[in-house]
Chains A and B, each alone.
Chain A
Amino acid sequence: MTVSTSQSTLSSARDDLRTEPKVIRFVIIAIAVIFLTVFVVLPLVVVFVQAFSKGIFAYFSALSDPEALSAIKLTLMVAAISVGLNLVFGVVAAWAIAKFDFRGKTFLISLIDLPFSVSPVISGLVFVLLFGAQGYWGPWLQAHNVHVLFAVPGIVLATVFVTFPFVARALIPLMQEQGTQEEEAAISLGASGLQTFFRVTLPNIKWGVLYGVLLCNARAMGEFGAVSVVSGHIRGETNTMPLLVEILYNEYQFVAAFAIASLLAMLALITLVAKTVLERHLDEGQIPSGD
C-alpha cells in the first residue's frame, strides 16, 4: 500500500525530476521500496503467516483461550478509560493554552510533552516509586487495602501518563490557528460559556479531537514498557495484549503469540486508514474562512 503511493507520487512529479538521469531515479525508488518492504511489509506479513501457520482453527482457538480473552478485555477497558480521561484533559489543556494568556504557559506546554521525551519504562518506574510497597504512598495504600500496583489501577495510571500528550498535541496548533474570534462573536451574541463551547468551539475542532483520540487509542492499546513495569504479569488478571504476546512467545507458543499480535497489527492498519481519512478532513477544515 505504502509502496504504491510512493511510486505514484514519484511518477506524477516526473516532470520535476527530468533533470535526473534515469539510473539515479531508479536507484532512489528501489532503495525506498526495498527498505519499506524489509522493515514494514515483511514483518506485517510474517505476523499473519505465523498466526495462521497451524490453520484457522488453531488461530481462533488461541484467541478464545481464557487468558487471551481476559487480556483482550483488559486492554479494551484500559484503553477506554485512558482515552476518556485524556480526551477531557487534552481538550481542557488545549483550550487553556490556545485561548488564554497566563504565566507558566510555556512550562505547561513542555510538561504536556514530557511523556514523549521519557522512556516508557521510566514512566512505569515512577509509579512503582510512588505506589510500590517501598514507595511514598505504598504503606498507606497497603494499610487501607487499596491495590494500585500489580493491579488494574496501576495499568490505567501508567497508560494515562504515557498517552496524555496525544489529544492536547493534536488540538493546540488547531485551536491557536483558529483564534478566539468566533468565541467572542458567540459571547457578544449572548451565548453562555457552555453554549459557546458546544456550539462553536467543539464543532470547529471535532476532526482534531477524533485525530487525537485515534492516536491516543492506538498507543493505549499497544503500550508495552510502562505497563510491563507496573502490571506484575498476573496471568488472566493483569496481562494486557502486548504483555501476553511476550509471555506466549517466551513459552514457544508461537501460534497463540502471533494470533494476539495479529489483532494488534489489525488495529494498526485500521488506525492508519482512519488517520488518512481524518487528515483529509483536517486539511479541508483548515482553509481559513476569514479571507
Chain B
Amino acid sequence: MAIEVKNIVKKFGAFAALDDVDLKVANGELLALLGPSGSGKTTLLRIIAGLDWPDTGEVSFDGENALAHGASERHVGFVFQHYALFRHMTVFENVAFGLRVQPRAVRKDEAAIRARVKELLDLVQLDWLSNRYPSQLSGGQRQRIALARALALDPAILILDDALSSVDAATEEGILKELRGARSGRTCFIVAHRLSAVRDADFILVLHEGRVAEQGTHEALVAHGGIYAKIHCQQQLEAEIEGNAA
C-alpha cells in the first residue's frame, strides 16, 4: 500500500512533537526512521497507525484519506516498542487475538485459526513456546511473538516501532531475517538505532526535533555528510573497538 503524509503537525501542549512533516512511501517499500528520542518517530508512526491524531495535515493510504478511520479499521500491523503482549494470554492466544476479534462474517473457524497461528509461530521459530505466558519469555522471544501477532491478519502495512533496540545484535539480525521473509509486498516502517538494521531500507528518514532533517538511501546519506554520516562513522568505530576487544 502506498502511503502519503502531508504537512503533519502534532503538539503536546507547547511541545511540537511533529512540525510540518511530509513523507511518501511506495507500495512494498521499506522506510527506516532514525533520530534521537523525542524527535517524533513514535508520534509519526502512531499517527499513521491511527493511535494518535495530528493537529493538522493529511494521511492517505493509496490516495484514500486514512484519518477518516480509527486504528481498528486501518489494518496496520504494529509492533510496539515494549512489545505490549497481552499478559494474561498464552503466546498462542496472543497471536490468535487479531483472528478471534474479527467480525463474525469474516472470522475463520477454529481449525483455520489454529493453522494460521501455527504457521506464524513457525515463521518466527517459536512454535514450542505456544503455551507459555509473555512473562516467561526473553526479550527477543517477546519481540518475535509481537511480530507474529502483528502479521496474523496479513496487514498491508507493518510498523516496527523501535522494536529491535532492546535485543542484542545477533537477535536483531535473526529477527530482521524473519522480517525479510515476512515482508512479501508489505509496506514497512522501521525505527532502529543500529544502522545495520536500516541499511537495506529503500528510504531513510532522519528526524530531528519534529522535522525531517535528512532523507535518502544509505549511500546517499553517507555521502551527504550530515547527521546520518556522523552516526555511521561513530557506529563503525564502535564496531571496530568491540572487534579489537574481542
Interface pair B51/A287, CB less than 8 Å apart: no
Interface pair B72/A192, CB less than 8 Å apart: yes
In the assembled complex, A185 has its CB within 8 A of some CB on chain B: yes
Interface pair B71/A188, CB less than 8 Å apart: yes
Interface pair B101/A190, CB less than 8 Å apart: yes
Interface pair A190/B84, CB less than 8 Å apart: no
Interface pair A188/B78, CB less than 8 Å apart: yes
How far apart are A223's CB and chain B's nearest CB, in angstroms? 34
- Residue of A190, A195, A199 with highest tally of chain B CB at under 10 A: A190
If A185-B78, A190-B153, A203-B88 touch, does A290 touch B101 (CB 8 Å cutoff)? no
Interchain CA distance A185-B75 in the complex, whole Å = 12
Interface pair A191/B72, CB less than 8 Å apart: yes
Interface pair B101/A184, CB less than 8 Å apart: no
How far apart are A283's CB and chain B's nearest CB, in angstroms? 14
Contact pick for A182, options B74, B86, B102, CB 8 Å: B86
Interface pair B87/A190, CB less than 8 Å apart: no
Contact pick for A188, options B76, B82, B83, B134, CB 8 Å: B76
Residues in B11-67 with C-beta less than 8 Å from chain A: 49-51
Q: Which residues of A are found within 8 Å of B77, using beta-carbon distances?
A: 188
If A181-B80, A287-B135, A289-B134 touch, does A187 touch B85 (CB 8 Å cutoff)? no
Categorize the interface residue count of chain B.
20 to 34
Interface pair A187/B88, CB less than 8 Å apart: no
Q: Which residues of B are found within 8 Å of A186, using beta-carbon distances?
A: 86, 97, 101
Interface of A is mostly: helix
Interface pair A181/B82, CB less than 8 Å apart: yes
Q: Which residues of A are found within 8 Å of B153, using beta-carbon distances?
A: 189-190
In the assembled complex, A204 has its CB within 8 A of some CB on chain B: yes
In the assembled complex, A268 has its CB within 8 A of some CB on chain B: no
Tally of contacts, chain A with chain B, CB under 8 A: 73
How far apart are A35's CB and chain B's nearest CB, in angstroms? 41
Interface pair A200/B86, CB less than 8 Å apart: yes
How far apart are A145's CB and chain B's nearest CB, in angstroms? 49
Interface pair A184/B82, CB less than 8 Å apart: no
Interchain CA distance A181-B78 in the complex, whole Å = 11
Interface pair B50/A188, CB less than 8 Å apart: yes
Interface pair B84/A182, CB less than 8 Å apart: yes
Residues in B196-239 with C-beta less than 8 Å from chain A: none
Interchain CA distance A290-B77 in the complex, whole Å = 19
Interface pair B135/A289, CB less than 8 Å apart: yes
Q: Which residue of A lies closest to B142 (CB)?
A: A289
If A184-B80, A185-B78, A287-B135 touch, does A190 touch B88 (CB 8 Å cutoff)? no
Residues in A230-289 with C-beta less than 8 Å from chain B: 287, 289
If A289-B134, A289-B135 touch, does A187 touch B72 (CB 8 Å cutoff)? yes
In the assembled complex, B175 has its CB within 8 A of some CB on chain A: no
Q: Which residues of A are found within 8 Å of B139, using beta-carbon distances?
A: 291
Interchain CA distance A203-B133 in the complex, whole Å = 14
Interchain CA distance A191-B72 in the complex, whole Å = 6
Q: Which residues of B are found within 8 Å of A199, using beta-carbon distances?
A: 97, 101
Q: Which residues of B are found within 8 Å of A181, using beta-carbon distances?
A: 80, 82, 84
Interchain CA distance A185-B85 in the complex, whole Å = 8
Interface pair A195/B101, CB less than 8 Å apart: yes
- Residue of A191, A195, A203, A289 with highest tally of chain B CB at under 10 A: A289
Q: Which residue of B lies closest to A290 (CB)?
A: B82
Interface pair B101/A185, CB less than 8 Å apart: no
In the assembled complex, B156 has its CB within 8 A of some CB on chain A: no
Interchain CA distance A289-B139 in the complex, whole Å = 10
Interchain CA distance A200-B83 in the complex, whole Å = 15
Interface pair B80/A187, CB less than 8 Å apart: no
Q: Which residues of B are found within 8 Å of A188, using beta-carbon distances?
A: 49-51, 71-72, 74, 76-78
Further 19 A-B residue pairs, CB within 8 A, beyond A189-B150, A192-B72: A181-B84, A182-B87, A184-B71, A184-B80, A185-B78, A185-B80, A188-B72, A188-B76, A188-B77, A190-B72, A190-B73, A191-B101, A199-B97, A200-B86, A204-B88, A289-B133, A289-B135, A290-B82, A291-B82
Question: Could you write out 18 A-B pairs with CB less than 8 Å apart?
Answer: A181-B80, A184-B78, A185-B80, A187-B71, A188-B71, A188-B76, A188-B77, A189-B150, A189-B152, A189-B153, A190-B72, A190-B101, A190-B153, A191-B72, A191-B101, A195-B101, A203-B88, A291-B139
When A and B form their complex, which 7 residue pairs have the shortest distance between CB atoms, in order from nearest?
A189-B98, A181-B84, A289-B87, A185-B84, A191-B101, A188-B78, A203-B88
What residues of chain B have their CB less than 8 Å away from a CB belonging to chain A? 49-51, 70-78, 80, 82-88, 97-98, 101-102, 133-135, 139, 149-150, 152-153
What residues of chain A have their CB less than 8 Å away from a CB belonging to chain B? 181-182, 184-192, 195, 199-200, 203-204, 287, 289-291
